[in-house]
Structure 1
């Protein structure tokens, strides 16, 4: 099946933009010309002491280090680093960081040696340098609802959810201007300036969680039974689509979903358990073109 001229242009642009990150993942280079087809059954790894939290790798720097944030209301101010997966599973932290402010929600991310999180009781994104152990930036996300105004369905002050993919740093949130529906903004990780914003039609409080892959937002519908991804939004096309992709949920209380572009896996915290999912992508032809209904 031959590509259209527009698709060939898009492919060339993606190669130029993402090749430095994807040099060891050639099969992901043309990801936006494909679509998420399946989320494979989770691989349970360990049980944690906290019901809610998040865990991730540095999404830009190749490293075996793992970062973990266990969330408790009004008491979350510690980030833990583990040198390897085995150390993380055994609970042997290499170091811990005391953050300069407490954290709302579980939507933190580590990108290029810095942790980014939502400062408690604010619509601010804070950048914390892991090398200097100090705050290195803070910025307001304009009009963003915060502190349980528009959280994910599980609650947890999860109004602002940071995400990272092959194209950089993102924040998922809602605004009153968009009637409480999901908004996606691209954030410059070094200046914290908003580089682009897209409004969607998806009610933020109906979403269980969300993540981005190559500039495409995927929204998880339920954090309990019958979980599924039921909405996607392409920031490249500026439009969304209804989809139905089952999302295995063995412990019935997902509090974070983090995509890692280094290995193409999803890192999930689910009701005291940490899990890792593999995901599969298929072309429009393989999926009979049923997923892409933009417009």
Structure 2
């Protein structure tokens, strides 16, 4: 009997626990259903809001596309007008050029007698019958960008080897030699170049390569010119440039104290001193011995000058502004007195990137090798004959 009562009691307890568990599960399911219902409502609301937002964005994008087309049309119109204005300005600059940079001060007037008697008393004896002078810049070609903002690149002016030499920077000691302009153009950086290690760093960007020799100014306090044989890798000669109290030759390129150049006549040095601080001076040099053959004081100011080049014994000084704009040849000096500023055309260079740190003329190609903010540029020149004055 007792066992039966125990069994009945356990059965009742089991039924009660089962019912409680079922009630609990039912309540949980109802709560989950309520949450699912809320999530469903929220999802529907979010979907509706997303569709409305999408429609608004589509409308905004369509409006922006219309505004974009309108803006593009306006910009094309402005670009056309700017091009027209630039062409008109170029025409006006050609027709009404700026006055030549001839700045005569009292100091220069006082020195005039000395200059005539000492420096210019002997008429320059031309080594060739070259009578070419620049007429205009026919074309420009940007080859690539190698190196820093300032440097120099050129071909060997006195040789037909076709080799190209790159002097990167203003105080380095390694020249990069390429077999041709094409090799230089297709090379990844300087990967195709032969490196030439100089015995001493150079100074500025006024170097030149002439008859298989590199001519440069040695870094240091004194103005020592170095002549380096590129064939056998040795110093062929060196000499101290015989001027005192030198100053940078171009105010916009202060790193260059002497700008060496080579043309049909041979080797030249463009420089400046405190004695003629406001103006640029010129010297004809013996390329073999580095001796000075003759010297001139030019009327070309240093102020706002960035570089210069020489063609047939005529110096063309290129000017710019502190905030780089369009470079222009605004002062010339001819050692044979066949060209004056009045005779020389006012030549403007095409728009580029910054300002020239070097300009090197190659008479065999009638090209100028220019370095502009790390870009290597070729300028093709249109030439004409000098007129006797």
The reply to whether residue 86 of structure 1 matches residue 188 of structure 2 is no
User: Is there any run of 5+ residues in structure 2 with no aligned partner, and where?
Assistant: 1-124
- Contact residue 267 and residue 275 of structure 1 kept, 8 A: yes
In 1, Cα distance between equivalents of 2:237 and 2:143: 34
1:197 aligns with 295
In 1, Cα distance between equivalents of 2:174 and 2:193: 13
Shift of 1:212: 0.3
Q: Equivalent residues in 2 for 1:119-198 (5 A)? A: 119-121=218-220, 122-143=222-243, 145-146=245-246, 149-198=247-296
Shift of 1:98: 1.3
Give the alignment partner of residue 353 of structure 2, picking from 207, 228, 251: 251
TM-score w.r.t. structure 2 length? 0.62
In 2, Cα distance between equivalents of 1:196 and 1:245: 28
Q: Equivalent residues in 2 for 1:211-222 (5 A)? A: 211-222=309-320
Distance 1:144 1:157, change over 3 A: farther
In 1, Cα distance between equivalents of 2:318 and 2:138: 14
What is the total number of aligned residue pairs between the two structures? 257
The reply to whether residue 106 of structure 1 matches residue 208 of structure 2 is no
Structure (1 or 2) with the larger CA radius of gyration: 2
In 1, Cα distance between equivalents of 2:303 and 2:236: 31
Give the alignment partner of residue 118 of structure 1, picking from 217, 227, 250: 217
TM-score w.r.t. structure 1 length? 0.80
Larger RCO, structures 1/2 (Cα 8 Å, 6+ apart):
1
2:134 aligns with 36
User: Is there any run of 5+ residues in structure 1 with no aligned partner, and where?
Assistant: 1-12, 19-28
In 2, Cα distance between equivalents of 1:54 and 1:133: 20
In 2, Cα distance between equivalents of 1:256 and 1:267: 8
Distance 1:87 1:159, change over 3 A: same
In 2, Cα distance between equivalents of 1:235 and 1:154: 25
Shift of 1:59: 0.5
2:367 aligns with 265
Moved more, 151-160 or 95-104: 151-160
In 1, Cα distance between equivalents of 2:181 and 2:292: 33
In 1, Cα distance between equivalents of 2:352 and 2:301: 25
In 2, Cα distance between equivalents of 1:125 and 1:204: 22
Shift of 1:262: 1.5
The reply to whether residue 241 of structure 1 matches residue 241 of structure 2 is no
The reply to whether residue 227 of structure 1 matches residue 327 of structure 2 is yes
2:157 aligns with 59
Give RMSD over aligned pairs.
2.2
SS at match of 2:283: strand
SS at match of 1:87: helix
Greater fraction of residues in helix: 2
Distance 1:119 1:144, change over 3 A: farther
